[in-house]
A and B are shown apart, each in its own frame.
Chain A
Amino acid sequence: MPAWAALWPTSLAEAWDNALLALRLLAVDPGLGGLHLRARSGPVRDAMPLPVATRLHPAMGDDALFGGIDLTTTLATGRVHQQTGLLDHDGPLILTMAERCPPELAARLAMHLDAAPRCLILLDEGTDDEAPRAILTERVAFYADLSDVALNDLTPPTKGGTISATATITDAQVAQITTLAAACGIDSMRAPTFAIRAARALARLSGNDHVTDEHITVACGLVFVHRATQIPENTPEEAPADADPPPPDTAQAPDSDDDTTMPDIPDTMLLDAIRALIPDDLLDRLRATRSKAGRGAGSGAARRSNRRGRPLPSHRGKLDGNARIDVVATLRAAAPWQTIRRIETGRDGLHVRAGDIHVRRFQEHADRLLIFTVDASGSAAIARLAEAKGAVELLLAQAYGRRDHVALVSFRGSGAEILLPPTRSLVQTKRRLAALPGGGGTPLAAGLDTAAEVAAQARRRGMTPTICLLTDGRANIARDGSADRVRAQVDAQSAAQAMRTSGFDALIIDTGQRPSTQLRTLAQTLDAPYLAMPRADSARLASAVDAALAD
């Protein structure tokens, strides 16, 4: 979501004002869910007049959050003491370091919010592409990014005014808001619901008893901008004329200072056309097919993770030399039995049995790296370079969603170059991709070699690389740079052979005018899924896919 927010920058002071307004609206109607506040800890965030709230931390245990038996007091007094959890307190909630929130906690918080709507403020200190779980951001209406707001930009919060008890909204206005949400490409039905609530709250805040068009514009701006997946160019005709102007923030986007991002968005038509052709979950499938292939890398080379493991709830288990005991959990499990065991054995002291032992568990997580290797040669690829770029953009969006790293290699003319070393910056990748020129020969072998090099480096750094090759497969430049079609093919095969030996995962997308048999052979050599990127002919795709599966 922040990726799109970056494409539609609001002016900086506006981000601050929006956040202030969002907080006032939340005070009027907690049913708006809350605010996702993206800012590093610092004077700007401290200046934000956050409501008095119960503060939560992602690492908090269930007992602290939801209450339960207070073990310390219970053991001391011999009678059961229940303690209340933090969530039992009324009023708003603040989740600090929301970007670190584990999925279990996010899911339970979401369930809690669904049961009894209350204001949740997500303090998000994520950098780049870290963000809180979508299940939470989905349930809060507002978003504000204060990371670039300077202290000078701050305006004091507005106060007071009379708040009216209710505000009415007309059916036409409801229709207008819903239409606009659809035009922004927002699928979830929560967004228009929030926008309507926000419009009502705005009206009440300004002392009105009905919602005006201005309220709607502001409300849609606050709720839709960060959720939008497309720019609402043609609002469908059935919408009233005043639904037409998109929220003011979006209208300014093209001429704002962040000019580099806009041209990177390919024509929506093109994107849609390609979207129809590329399976939505290509990366998932890639993963699925890989695991099925059962081509283990053998033993040895334990995979190091370059991130710390995420602690999981400890689990009843045996101490087998590898496992680490979780002392607290073990004592906790043993505690209730103490009286019984004491009576049974007639022995004083602590009774811990094997069945009480809990061991710690961590989830290790190796980052995946997708190496896009794009053929930018002048052969057939040039005709479809734009489409290939569109395809990469779609894959990028998927990669972004799963926190993968990406790298970009292109080959044309006499050699290959690394356009972008492994990164997680979506914007940077899109920029480089857009600037990618086309023309020249097809040094396929050089492209594969370079990709393999990047992959090997990444593996040494603990990542799991996957090479995604987009080419028409008509190699005509050999490794030594000579224009020799036959040798070029042989070289490409041997490069692929080497890649296979190294055990890198790969995926081949054929960008040629018609599926190439040479490329299919290459895919066989690599043991990689082969996918033709056809024009608008799904039958051909199906047959190509069948052929790939038959291997």
Chain B
Amino acid sequence: MTAPFPFSAIVGQDEMKLSMILTAIDPAIGGVLVFGDRGTGKSTAVRALAALLPPISVVRGCPVNSATTAEVPDWARGAGDTLVEVPTPVVDLPLGASEDRVTGALDIERALGAGERAFQPGLLARANRGYLYIDEVNLLEDHIVDLLLDVAQSGRNLVERDGLSITHPARFVLVGSGNPEEGELRPQLLDRFGLSVEVASPRDIDTRIEVIRRRDAYDNDHAAFMLRWQAEDAGVRARILTARGALRKLKTPDSAVRDVAALCLALGSDGLRGELTLLKAARAYAAWRNDTALTRSHIKTVSAMALRHRLRRDPLDEAGSGARVGRVVADVLG
């Protein structure tokens, strides 16, 4: 497999790129949903994301990427006691994956061979402390969705079957992409995504030409192209690390919290999850900008992506929920 298309070489689609960077700065924001037409670079961006993420340190051989030896689950075999740096895992959850494959199941080899009850970890275990990517998330089978909802909520995966009782941490950033024409997403799952962005093909002819040029260079002049853009990616990665540091020192004035609350109240978004996500996203954005305090402009920038999927659906509003958020932001924050 060749190296994926570099993240920084993606032309335009700033909102999508920003949303992914924000989750890399603060994974607690809770994932990104990318909705858009075909051929707009959704999956390209997600696959490029892996190269952008700073490595994490894990216990060697641990199936759930534990950070310390104390956290290695008791059922795990082959986990060493040294720490190694590995790239942040980005795990694909393919449509049609069986429940066993997602949650993990009985280890067939050991069950048949030794008659032992052993657990073989699934995709959720591999995605712990990393990203779980679902392409065509709106086509995902209902029973897998139920399962994900539960795990995403609790951060733990529980497998209970025939005397096999396993639990392990499964904290991951959920990234979904899909084409809204193919089907709607269940509101419960929608709510689990912290940010939501809508992508469209660029309308401007010069931008389009630039997209095609870069793609052509990637296909035909691979080495030079990767050399040029991997350097850019490294720059973004360094900036993400800096932002993680800055996030801890960032000041959140009361007025900003008040702004966030007023905004969510005016929009009538359900629950408090909107406020929390908006605040986290705005803080991550301020850190990304390397500012020292959270201001109104940060909130304005990220409000659409944090709130657009939390509004009550107005089936006949033509402009779409992004524009509605924009209007209310202009009203409330001036």
What residues make up the interface of A, taking CB atoms closer than 8 Å to B? 31, 62, 69, 74-75, 78-80, 103-105, 107-108, 110-111, 114-116, 134-135, 138, 166, 169, 171, 174-175, 177-179, 181-182, 187-193, 196-197, 200, 236, 238, 279, 281, 284-285, 288-289, 292, 312-313, 315-316, 335-340, 342-343, 353, 355, 401, 529, 531, 538, 541-542, 545, 548-549
**Does A135 contact B38, Cβ atoms closer than 8 Å?**
yes
**Does A108 contact B96, Cβ atoms closer than 8 Å?**
yes
Q: Which one of B106, B139, B215 contacts A103 once the chains associate, using CB atoms below 8 Å?
A: B139
**Does A193 contact B215, Cβ atoms closer than 8 Å?**
yes
Q: In the assembled complex, how far is the CB of residue A158 from the closest CB belonging to chain B, in whole angstroms?
A: 26
Q: Which one of B1, B40, B314 contacts A189 once the chains associate, using CB atoms below 8 Å?
A: B40
Q: In the assembled complex, how far is the CB of residue B161 from the closest CB belonging to chain A, in whole angstroms?
A: 6
Bound together, the chains give a CA A335 to CA B109 distance in angstroms of 11
Tell me which residues across on chain B come within 8 A of A542, comparing CB atoms.
Answer: 318
Near A by CB (< 8 A), chain B positions 79-119 give 92, 94-96, 98-99, 106, 108-109, 111-117
B238 close to chain A: CB less than 8 A: no
Bound together, the chains give a CA A190 to CA B215 distance in angstroms of 10
Tell me which residues across on chain B come within 8 A of A336, comparing CB atoms.
Answer: 106, 108, 111-112
**Does B113 contact A78, Cβ atoms closer than 8 Å?**
yes
How many residues of B are counted as interface, with CB atoms below 8 angstroms from the partner's CB atoms? 55
**Does B216 contact A134, Cβ atoms closer than 8 Å?**
no
Q: Scoring B residues 227 to 270 as 1 if CB is less than 8 Å from chain A, else 0, what string do you get?
A: 00000000000000000000000000000000000000000000
Known: A31-B219, A178-B209. A548 touches B316 (CB 8 A): yes
B212 close to chain A: CB less than 8 A: yes
Q: Which one of A340, A401, A531, A548 contacts B181 once the chains associate, using CB atoms below 8 Å?
A: A401
Bound together, the chains give a CA A338 to CA B112 distance in angstroms of 7
Bound together, the chains give a CA A105 to CA B136 distance in angstroms of 12
B205 close to chain A: CB less than 8 A: yes
**Does B39 contact A190, Cβ atoms closer than 8 Å?**
yes
Tell me which residues across on chain B come within 8 A of A531, comparing CB atoms.
Answer: 316
Apart from the given pairs A134-B38, A189-B201, A548-B316, 10 other A-B contacts in the complex at a CB distance below 8 Å = A75-B112, A107-B136, A111-B92, A111-B135, A115-B1, A178-B205, A179-B209, A192-B208, A335-B108, A339-B112
Q: In the assembled complex, how far is the CB of residue B7 from the closest CB belonging to chain A, in whole angstroms?
A: 16
A sample of 24 inter-chain contacts (CB < 8 A) reads A80-B108, A80-B109, A80-B113, A104-B95, A104-B141, A107-B135, A107-B139, A111-B135, A135-B38, A174-B213, A178-B209, A182-B205, A188-B40, A188-B201, A190-B38, A191-B39, A196-B216, A313-B98, A335-B108, A339-B111, A339-B113, A339-B114, A355-B161, A549-B314
Q: In the assembled complex, how far is the CB of residue B65 from the closest CB belonging to chain A, in whole angstroms?
A: 22
Q: Which one of A74, A79, A342, A541 contacts B318 once the chains associate, using CB atoms below 8 Å?
A: A541
Tell me which residues across on chain A come within 8 A of B115, comparing CB atoms.
Answer: 339-340, 342-343
Tell me which residues across on chain A come within 8 A of B211, comparing CB atoms.
Answer: 178, 189
Bound together, the chains give a CA A485 to CA B234 distance in angstroms of 76
Q: Which one of A115, A166, A189, A340 contacts B117 once the chains associate, using CB atoms below 8 Å?
A: A340
Bound together, the chains give a CA A75 to CA B247 distance in angstroms of 55
Q: Scoring B residues 1 to 16 as 1 if CB is less than 8 Å from chain A, else 0, what string do you get?
A: 1000000000000000
Q: Scoring B residues 176 to 199 as 1 if CB is less than 8 Å from chain A, else 0, what string do you get?
A: 000111101000000000000000
For the complex of A and B, the 5 pairs showing the least CB-CB separation, nearest first, are A188-B39, A104-B96, A339-B115, A80-B109, A190-B39
Near A by CB (< 8 A), chain B positions 309-330 give 313-318
Q: Which one of A114, A200, A340 contacts B111 once the chains associate, using CB atoms below 8 Å?
A: A340
Bound together, the chains give a CA A466 to CA B16 distance in angstroms of 38
**Does A189 contact B215, Cβ atoms closer than 8 Å?**
yes
**Does A74 contact B112, Cβ atoms closer than 8 Å?**
yes
Near A by CB (< 8 A), chain B positions 28-42 give 37-41
Query: Interface centre among A108, A114, A192, A336, by most B CB within 10 Å?
Result: A336
**Does A197 contact B212, Cβ atoms closer than 8 Å?**
no
Q: In the assembled complex, how far is the CB of residue B178 from the closest CB belonging to chain A, in whole angstroms?
A: 10
Tell me which residues across on chain A come within 8 A of B317, comparing CB atoms.
Answer: 545
Bound together, the chains give a CA A285 to CA B316 distance in angstroms of 7
Q: Which one of B47, B99, B316 contacts A316 once the chains associate, using CB atoms below 8 Å?
A: B99
Known: A116-B1, A339-B115. A549 touches B316 (CB 8 A): yes
**Chain A contact surface mostly:** helix
Residue of B nearest to A402 (CB): B181
Residue of A nearest to B44 (CB): A114
B162 close to chain A: CB less than 8 A: yes
Q: Which one of B47, B161, B201 contacts A187 once the chains associate, using CB atoms below 8 Å?
A: B201
**Does B313 contact A138, Cβ atoms closer than 8 Å?**
no
Bound together, the chains give a CA A62 to CA B141 distance in angstroms of 15
**Does B215 contact A313, Cβ atoms closer than 8 Å?**
no
Known: A74-B112, A288-B313, A529-B316. A103 touches B95 (CB 8 A): yes
Tell me which residues across on chain A come within 8 A of B219, comparing CB atoms.
Answer: 31, 193, 197
Tell me which residues across on chain B come within 8 A of A138, comparing CB atoms.
Answer: 38-39
Bound together, the chains give a CA A115 to CA B47 distance in angstroms of 10
Bound together, the chains give a CA A134 to CA B201 distance in angstroms of 17
**Does B112 contact A313, Cβ atoms closer than 8 Å?**
no
B43 close to chain A: CB less than 8 A: yes
Query: Interface centre among B1, B162, B180, by most A CB within 10 Å?
Result: B162
Tell me which residues across on chain A come within 8 A of B200, comparing CB atoms.
Answer: 187
Tell me which residues across on chain A come within 8 A of B37, comparing CB atoms.
Answer: 187-188
**Does B39 contact A189, Cβ atoms closer than 8 Å?**
yes
Bound together, the chains give a CA A368 to CA B162 distance in angstroms of 44
Q: In the assembled complex, how far is the CB of residue B220 from the closest CB belonging to chain A, in whole angstroms?
A: 8
Query: Interface centre among B38, B43, B98, B109, by most A CB within 10 Å?
Result: B38
Q: Scoring B residues 41 to 72 as 1 if CB is less than 8 Å from chain A, else 0, what string do you get?
A: 10100010000000000000000000000000
Tell me which residues across on chain B come within 8 A of A175, comparing CB atoms.
Answer: 209
**Does A279 contact B318, Cβ atoms closer than 8 Å?**
yes
Bound together, the chains give a CA A178 to CA B114 distance in angstroms of 61
**Does A313 contact B96, Cβ atoms closer than 8 Å?**
yes
Q: In the assembled complex, how far is the CB of residue A416 from the closest CB belonging to chain B, in whole angstroms?
A: 28
Q: In the assembled complex, how far is the CB of residue B77 from the closest CB belonging to chain A, in whole angstroms?
A: 16
Bound together, the chains give a CA A175 to CA B184 distance in angstroms of 36
Q: In the assembled complex, how far is the CB of residue A180 from the closest CB belonging to chain B, in whole angstroms?
A: 11
Q: In the assembled complex, how far is the CB of residue A129 from the closest CB belonging to chain B, in whole angstroms?
A: 16
